[in-house]
């Protein structure tokens, strides 16, 4: 089965960094209009998977249920990998929250391919 990762890129005082969380390790997932947060089994650390500030100063708030949208995106990524005729090895998939035409969505890409650009 394809491993699905969730990536968040952010900039801080030390520069740009990215965080990857394996979807199978998530045991807690919560969201509000500003963030999607997760923890892993046995961990007290909270990891942000999406933050409205990632969309820039004029970004819209995250939609209600964006954490549930993530669960759907994880299932879709696995199904697409299984059914892809050009990917017999079922390469991992990466999900990332991005703005697309003014709406927040979970974009999927292969690690070997280009990272999707926000529109």
In a domain, 114, yes or no: no
Supply the range of the domain harboring residue 54: 4-109
Q: Rounded distance, CA 98 to CA 57, Å? A: 14
Residue 25 falls inside a structural domain = yes
Nearest in space to 62 (alpha carbons), one of 107, 95, 39, 31: 31
Residues facing residue 107 across a β-bridge: 96
For residue 24, tell me if it sits in a domain.
yes
User: Is residue 89 in some structural domain?
Assistant: yes
The span from the CA of 4 to the CA of 74, in Å, is 7
Q: What residues form DSSP beta bridges with 100?
A: 103
Inside any domain, residue 46: yes
pLDDT band at 13 (very low <50, low <70, confident <90, very high): low
Q: Tell me the pLDDT tens digit for each residue of 28-71.
A: 999 999 999 998 877 888 999 999 999 989 999 999 999 999 99
Q: How many domains does the chain have?
A: 1
Would 119 be classed as within a structural domain?
Answer: no
Does this model's pTM top 0.85? yes
> Does residue 118 belong to any structural domain of this protein?
no
Tokens coding 46: 């909270």
């Amino acid at each position: 089965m394809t491993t699905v990762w969730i990536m968040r890129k952010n900039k801080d005082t030390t520069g740009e960094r990215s965080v990857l969380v394996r979807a199978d390790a998530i045991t807690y997932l919560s969201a509000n209009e500003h963030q999607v947060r997760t923890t892993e089994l046995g961990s007290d650390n909270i990891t942000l998977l999406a933050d409205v500030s990632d969309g820039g100063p004029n970004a819209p708030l995250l939609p209600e249920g964006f954490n549930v949208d993530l669960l759907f995106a994880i299932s879709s990524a696995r199904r697409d990998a299984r059914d892809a005729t050009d990917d017999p090895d079922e390469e991992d998939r990466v999900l990332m929250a991005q703005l697309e035409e003014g709406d927040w969505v979970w974009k999927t890409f292969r690690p070997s391919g280009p990272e999707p650009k926000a529109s």
